[in-house]
Amino acid sequence: MIDTDLALQKILDALPSPDSTELDLDAALGHVLAGPAIAALDLPPFDQSAVDGYAVRHADIADAPLALPVVQTIAAAARDAAPVLAPGTAARIFTGGWLPLHADTSVRQELTERDGDRVRVLQALPAGTDVRRQGEELRLGDTIGRAGQRITPGLLGAIAMGGVSRVRVHRRPRIAILITGDEVAPPGAPLRPGQIADANGPLLRAHLQHWGYHAVTLHYVGDRYEQVCDALAQAFASADLVLTTGGVSVGDHDHVPAAAQAGGAQTVFWKVAQKPGMPLYVARQGRALLFGLPGNPASVLVNLLVYVRPALARFEGLADMPAWRHGRLSHDVRAEVSKTLWLRMRETTDDQGQSLLLPLERQASHMLSNLADATVLVRVPASASGRCTAGTMVRWITL
Ligand SMILES: Nc1nc2c(c(=O)[nH]1)N[C@H]1C(S)=C(S)[C@@H](COP(=O)(O)OP(=O)(O)OC[C@H]3O[C@@H](n4cnc5c(N)ncnc54)[C@H](O)[C@@H]3O)O[C@H]1N2
Ligand code: MOO
């Protein structure tokens, strides 16, 4: 049995290095950049007016109020050549319009009065007023997004603004879920005596969907050894990560480790000093990684958050791992003597605004209903006393 930190390290070490591919930007939302996204333009690409008004030379309006002839109109639109401003004149200009050569200032419409083909400028303005300078935000060649960053809607918009329409990204994982167990009835199927409604399939699929993983298949597999072998062989052939639930303990129907090994998988480890989730089995088959998750639903939840999620992040080249935070226990809780205990809790803040963690009832491995109230998963370290006292600082992650 290994400890939780070593288990995670072994998983990350067992992952293949991430693949990359080039995608149209509009198909790249949620992918992780495999290289930097580089501005293909200066931003702004040319000097612009920031307002609807008149482009002038500030020296020409130093003695305002005064009137200038309006000799051209510059829309925010494509044009063949840069506009030029003759001394002593004004150009009608609109927000985003190309500021003419020799102009240095935009006079917003509210500071003017139009009189036929002349405009009366009501006050002098400092040079550069209401002008956006070419390259003031970014220069051509500057980095907009870094390798290892996920393309969020905001980053996607920023990359598009930089004139980039194709990006190099890491491939997203294909995930196969196999729910094993003759006692498990798929959602909606009639429950025969001795059967239970599947919790693990919905729990896994919903989390993966919530985290943005959509290439997910789910199959139900009976408890016969041959059934498990066949299902694993198919999953290894089509997925990067295979998640099974059930069948990793020592019972007569617990076939996942033996079936995986018969299918050519190399065991990474089996059993972690933790509760719930102790009999976790991890193996590698070719480029695929198998997580044999113990069948108890809380065990599935814990192993999903603590190990599978970071593995998914690493698979797709994400630089940042899911963040662990610190908080204090509001009450004494029990601890395991020689295992990490994972407890579902509700996070609040104390009167100094610090994270405070409230334990919840119904923590056993076969129970999930406290997830209606839980917001975080808390790591309670092993303790010889079997207790962890109120006020102890512990680590947690968001559920
Ligand atoms: N003699 C021992 N027995 C058990 C040990 C042990 O060390 N020695 N470990 C216990 C622990 S801890 C766990 S966790 C479980 C893990 O067992 P399996 O992975 O083999 O899982 P199953 O036996 O198939 O199921 C366990 C439990 O979970 C229920 N289950 C299974 N699948 C689902 C599902 N999709 N939805 C809802 N509930 C599910 C299943 O009916 C069992 O009640 O082994 C202990 N036993
Ligand atoms: O490790 Mo098991 O999940 O405690 O019940």
Of the listed ligands, the closest to the CA of 203 is 1
307: which DSSP letter? I
Distance 389 CA to ligand 2 centre (A): 23
| Residue 27 binned pLDDT confidence (cut-offs 50, 70, 90) | very high
Tell me, using a 6 A CB cutoff, whether residue 250 lines ligand 1: yes
Of the listed ligands, the closest to the CA of 364 is 2
Atom 5 of ligand 2, residue of closest alpha carbon: 365
Q: Which of 296, 342, 371 to mutate to test the pocket of ligand 1 (most atoms within 8 A of CB)?
A: 296
Which tens digit of pLDDT belongs to each residue from 53-62?
999 999 999 9
Ligand 1, residue 277: give the atom nearest the CA. Answer: 14
| Residue 251 binned pLDDT confidence (cut-offs 50, 70, 90) | confident
> What whole-number distance in Å separates Cα of residue 371 and Cα of residue 199?
13
Q: Do 129 and 75 touch, CB atoms closer than 8 A?
A: no
Residue 357 CB coordination number (10 Å): 25
- The mean pLDDT of 31-52, rounded to a whole number, is 98
Residue 260 sits at the vertex; the CA angle it makes with 259 and 266, to the nearest 5 degrees, is 140
The DSSP secondary structure of 229-298, one letter per residue, reads HHHHHHHHHH-SEEEEES--SSSTT--HHHHHHHTTPEEEEE-BSEES-TT-EEEEETTEEEEEE-SSHH
Which tens digit of pLDDT belongs to each residue from 166-224?
999 999 999 999 999 999 999 999 999 999 999 999 999 999 999 999 999 999 999 99
**CATH for 48-132 (3.40.50.300, 2.170.190.11, 1.10.357.10, 3.40.190.80):** 2.170.190.11
CATH class of 4-18+172-315: alpha beta
* ipTM of this complex prediction, to 2 decimal places: 0.98
Q: What confidence score (pLDDT) does residue 303 get?
A: 98
Ligand 2, residue 279: give the atom nearest the CA. Answer: 1
Distance 18 CA to ligand 2 centre (A): 32
The tokens describing 381, both together, are 């370290």
Q: Which of 270, 296, 307, 362 to mutate to test the pocket of ligand 2 (most atoms within 8 A of CB)?
A: 296
Ligand 2, residue 278: give the atom nearest the CA. Answer: 1
pLDDT at residue 248 greater than cutoff 90: yes
Cα dihedral 383, 386, 391, 396 in deg (nearest 10) = 60
**Beta strands 288-293; 241-245: pairing state:** parallel
Cα Rg, the chain, nearest whole Å? 31
388: which DSSP letter? E
Residues with CB under 6 A from ligand 2: 275-278, 294, 296, 299, 365
Tell me, using a 6 A CB cutoff, whether residue 296 lines ligand 1: yes
Q: What confidence score (pLDDT) does residue 250 get?
A: 85
Ligand 1, residue 245: give the atom nearest the CA. Answer: 32
Q: What are the residue ranges spanned by the domains of the chain?
A: 4-18+172-315, 21-41+139-170, 48-132, 325-398
Q: Do 73 and 92 touch, CB atoms closer than 8 A?
A: yes
Distance 294 CA to ligand 1 centre (A): 6
**Residue 107: which H helix or E strand, with range?**
strand 105-108
Distance 379 CA to ligand 2 centre (A): 15
Q: Which of 1, 248, 275 to mutate to test the pocket of ligand 2 (most atoms within 8 A of CB)?
A: 275
Of the listed ligands, the closest to the CA of 198 is 1
Of the listed ligands, the closest to the CA of 298 is 2
Q: Do 1 and 273 touch, CB atoms closer than 8 A?
A: yes
Of the listed ligands, the closest to the CA of 297 is 1
Distance 194 CA to ligand 2 centre (A): 21
Q: Work out the end-to-end distance of the chain between its first and last CA atoms, rounded to an integer number of angstroms.
A: 26
Torsion 253-303-177-169 (CA) sign: negative
| Chain centre distance of CA 252 | 40
Least-confidence region, from 128-142, 216-230, 244-258: 244-258
Which tens digit of pLDDT belongs to each residue from 64-101?
999 999 999 999 999 999 999 999 999 999 999 999 99
Which tens digit of pLDDT belongs to each residue from 268-317?
999 999 999 999 999 999 999 999 999 999 999 999 999 999 999 999 99
> What whole-number distance in Å separates Cα of residue 300 and Cα of residue 308?
10
pLDDT at residue 322 greater than cutoff 90: no
pLDDT at residue 374 greater than cutoff 90: yes
Atom 4 of ligand 2, residue of closest alpha carbon: 276
Is the CATH number of domain 325-398 2.40.340.10? yes
Ligand 2, residue 366: give the atom nearest the CA. Answer: 5
Partners of 114 in beta bridges: 119
Stated pTM of the model: 0.92
Distance 198 CA to ligand 1 centre (A): 13
Atom 26 of ligand 1, residue of closest alpha carbon: 295
In sequence order, which ranges of 73-123 are alpha helices (DSSP H)? none
Place of tokens 């790591």: 379
Of the listed ligands, the closest to the CA of 245 is 1
Distance 212 CA to ligand 1 centre (A): 28
**CATH for 21-41+139-170 (1.10.10.10, 3.90.105.10, 3.30.360.10, 3.90.1170.20):** 3.90.105.10
Torsion 179-181-182-188 (CA) sign: negative
Q: What confidence score (pLDDT) does residue 349 get?
A: 96
Cα dihedral 216, 219, 221, 226 in deg (nearest 10) = -70
Cα dihedral 333, 338, 340, 343 in deg (nearest 10) = -30
pLDDT at residue 52 greater than cutoff 90: yes
Q: Which of 198, 249, 252, 302 to mutate to test the pocket of ligand 1 (most atoms within 8 A of CB)?
A: 249
* Average pLDDT across the chain, whole number: 97
Q: What confidence score (pLDDT) does residue 253 get?
A: 86
- The mean pLDDT of 343-366, rounded to a whole number, is 97
Ligand 1, residue 296: give the atom nearest the CA. Answer: 28
pLDDT at residue 360 greater than cutoff 90: yes
